[in-house]
Chain A
Amino acid sequence: EAGVAQSPRYKIIEKRQSVAFWCNPISGHATLYWYQQILGQGPKLLIQFQNNGVVDDSQLPKDRFSAERLKGVDSTLKIQPAKLEDSAVYLCASSLIRGGLEAFFGQGTRLTVV
């Protein structure tokens, strides 16, 4: 079974530029999460989708971050414009359904904003 795929693996941009990350969850997984992990900290949930609907985006900085999951499969996370404090690893995860099942994570995208 293929795992959660993310791209790119690494990205370096200048502040005020825009960037987009892509995630392909495990086939059949209805729930998709985007997390931000700052160095030395645990992952922080940015947004959670159930199929193509947003379940929770309360911690997403909506003035600069946006995410979509068209057709309930792949998802993209965008930052525009980027700030220095956005430097982090962005992790995508998926699970079959909500409630009680294992979440699987991708390798992450390491973003450096200079």
Chain B
Amino acid sequence: KQEVTQIPAALSVPEGENLVLNCSFTDSAIYNLQWFRQDPGKGLTSLLLIQSSQREQTSGRLNASLDKSSGRSTLYIAASQPGDSATYLCAVESVPNNAGNMLTFGGGTRLMVKP
């Protein structure tokens, strides 16, 4: 059974700092890994999708890396802004035995960027 863990659970930084969020997963047989942002009371917004054959993806100030063999991904946020404050979730799409693809989420990292 795929398990996804995110560290830290919460993070508070001053504006302008570069920061790294971590995600680890137990089963390396994945199709992709996706990073989401969730604002309070809202749904999930996809930030970056990394296919299993890729090592990283970039979008603006965000960079996500994937090391499938070690079961790890990091989300790097450069020059953080108060508007980046949200919960960041990673999810892996894997193929468990005799079942269709599953999208399994970590518990999230709650980020607060202080002005």
Known contacts A42-B4, A99-B31, A102-B49, A91 near B100 by CB under 8 Å: no
Interface-located stretch among A13-21, A43-51, A73-81: A43-51
Inside 8 A of A99's CB, which chain B residues have their CB?
31, 93, 95, 101
Known contacts A55-B100, A110-B41, A42 near B46 by CB under 8 Å: no
Name A45's contact: one of B6, B104, B106 (CB within 8 Å). Answer: B104
Let me know if A104 is at the binding interface, CB within 8 A: yes
Main DSSP-derived SS at the B contact region: strand
Let me know if B71 is at the binding interface, CB within 8 A: no
Let me know if B44 is at the binding interface, CB within 8 A: yes
Find residues 73-113 in chain A having any chain B CB closer than 8 Å to their own CB.
91, 93, 98-108, 110
Inside 8 A of A58's CB, which chain B residues have their CB?
99
Number of chain B interface residues as a range = 20 to 34
Inside 8 A of B6's CB, which chain A residues have their CB?
42
Known contacts A41-B107, A43-B105, A100-B93, A106 near B100 by CB under 8 Å: no
Name A107's contact: one of B36, B43, B89, B108 (CB within 8 Å). Answer: B43
CB-defined A-B contacts under 8 Å, sample of 17: A42-B4, A42-B6, A42-B107, A43-B105, A56-B96, A91-B43, A91-B44, A98-B100, A100-B31, A100-B32, A102-B46, A103-B34, A103-B46, A103-B103, A105-B36, A108-B43, A110-B41
